[in-house]
Every structure is written in C-alpha cells, then in structure tokens.
C-alpha cells in the first residue's frame, strides 16, 4: 500500500518547526561519556532533576480510560514503579502481547495502553499541572522523533538523545497537544519531549513505551502524584523505563 509522504512543514500542529538554531536542545545532548542513561528515566527524559514521576498510559474500555490498578486487582497483582503491562495481564509473549491471544476483561478493559508518546487526554492533564510549575509557560520547546508521521524530514536538523534523533519544535505549553487536534491526520503524534525555557521540568516519552516520564522539582512531582486523573508513580532517574 502506498503511503503518501508530505514535505517538511513549517508548523506541526500549532508548534513551530525549528530549521536552524538547535541551541535550546543542546543541554539534552550533554551526557557523561559512557553513561548516557539509555533505557532509563534519565535517557528518555533528562538527568539532574530533584524528583521524577512515571505517568501510566491508561488502558481503555471503549473511549474511556481505565487505570492499571483496577486491571491489576482483577489479576491479583499490584502496580509499582517498574510494573510492565504484559506482566500485569499475564501475556504469553511480553513483546508480541498486542498480537497474541491475551484476553481483555469484558466491561473492564478492551484495549491495551497506548504505546507511544503521551496520549492526548493525559497530555491535557499534564499541561494543566505543569503550567503551575514554570515561569515560562508561553515559551516551551519540544522534541519530535523524526520517524513519526507521514512527513519526510529530510533537510531538517535534528538533536540527539540516548533514545532518538529529534526534530526541535517551539510553542506555548497549552499547544503541546495541538498535533493530536488536527483533523487531517498528517500531524498526529504529540512530541516525545517537552520542556519550558526555564527548564523547570522535562516530559519524556518514546514510541516503544506505555508510560510518560516527568522530571522536575519535588513540588512538581508531588502535584502530579496527587492529580486524581493521572495514574502516577514516583521513580528515580536510573529506573528502567517501559
């Protein structure tokens, strides 16, 4: 099947594509030699924050979000900072569980958690909470993995993290979820990385993960953990991601 490709845009959702100056992202490339944090919270997010949270992408029942702890109770399990979804539901193959015969539970959940960058409904809650913990909500930066979507990003410079090569985007925090609001389906994936100009926090996700990670102040992380519509766990920068 032919997949239509579109030339590099000047905007992605309502975020501006940076075509030359990558200076705002260079701090994310500065990692200790031999200790880049690959596969850890620091690698997906950023090192050096006072506290970190893991935000679990919800399972679904139709369009409704379903918390992991509700599903875990049905299987006699509990949820921790390192719980993996396929282990929680007893999947036969932890890597191919989306294609295997692991049954859903009628009237509880029928869709696995979203694997990829932050789901739009979770992102909107994060926007609300994180806006309280930065002095620069109108000036934020974003990293978008160049492998997402239908765009051909040839010629657009990238910055490198331990996990991916990222396109740099810019815009206010309240537009972080704007790519998912497009109806043309050309821009769909929310950026993997978000951080404000004052670097008060950093949000990190990845195409292979069912969680989003946030580093920030202790107060910021406490606020995330206390938000009822988020299912969050406290983690450290060396915690393995999944």
Give residues with Cβ within 8 angstroms of 169, minimum separation 6: 12, 15, 16, 17, 18, 141, 142, 143, 144, 191
Beta-bridge mates of residue 54: 213, 233
Dump pLDDT digits (tens) for 4-40.
566 778 999 999 999 989 999 999 998 766 666 889 9
Structure-block tokens of residue 232: 């969050």
DSSP secondary structure of 61-75:
ETTEEE-HHHHHHHH
Q: Are 127 and 134 contacting, i.e. CB atoms less than 8 angstroms apart?
A: no
Q: Are 18 and 170 contacting, i.e. CB atoms less than 8 angstroms apart?
A: yes
Q: What is the pLDDT, as a whole number, of residue 240?
A: 94
Question: Does position 170 have pLDDT exceeding 70, yes or no?
Answer: yes
Question: Does position 184 have pLDDT exceeding 60, yes or no?
Answer: no
Kindly report the number of other CB atoms within 10 A of residue 238's CB atom: 12
Average pLDDT (209-214) is 97
Question: Does position 126 have pLDDT exceeding 90, yes or no?
Answer: yes
Q: Are 191 and 22 contacting, i.e. CB atoms less than 8 angstroms apart?
A: no
Identify the band that residue 119 occupies on the pLDDT scale cut at 50, 70 and 90. very high
Beta-bridge mates of residue 12: 15
For the chain, the domains span 15-57+115-235, 59-113
Q: Are 159 and 28 contacting, i.e. CB atoms less than 8 angstroms apart?
A: yes
Q: What is the pLDDT, as a whole number, of residue 187?
A: 55
């Amino acid at each position: 099947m032919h997949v239509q490709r579109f030339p590099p845009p000047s905007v992605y959702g309502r975020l501006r594509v940076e075509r030359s100056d990558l200076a705002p992202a260079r701090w994310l490339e500065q990692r200790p030699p031999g200790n880049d944090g690959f596969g850890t919270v620091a690698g997906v997010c950023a090192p050096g924050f006072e506290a970190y949270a893991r935000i679990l992408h919800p399972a679904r029942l139709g369009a409704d979000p379903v918390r992991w702890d509700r599903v875990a109770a049905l299987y006699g399990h509990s949820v921790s900072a390192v719980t993996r979804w396929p282990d929680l539901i007893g999947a036969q193959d932890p890597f191919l569980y989306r294609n295997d015969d692991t049954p859903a539970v009628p009237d509880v959940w029928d869709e696995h958690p979203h694997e990829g960058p932050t789901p739009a409904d979770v992102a909107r809650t994060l926007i609300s909470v994180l806006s309280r913990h930065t002095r620069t909500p109108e000036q934020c930066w974003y990293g978008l993995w160049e492998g997402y979507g239908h765009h051909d990003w040839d010629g657009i410079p990238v910055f490198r993290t331990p996990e991916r090569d990222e396109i740099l985007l810019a815009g206010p925090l309240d537009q972080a979820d704007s790519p998912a609001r497009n109806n043309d389906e050309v821009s769909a994936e929310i950026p993997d990385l978000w951080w404000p100009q004052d670097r008060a926090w950093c949000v990190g996700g990845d195409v292979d993960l069912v969680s989003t990670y946030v580093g920030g102040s202790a107060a910021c992380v406490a606020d995330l953990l206390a938000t009822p519509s988020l299912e969050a766990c406290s983690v450290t920068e060396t915690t393995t991601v999944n």
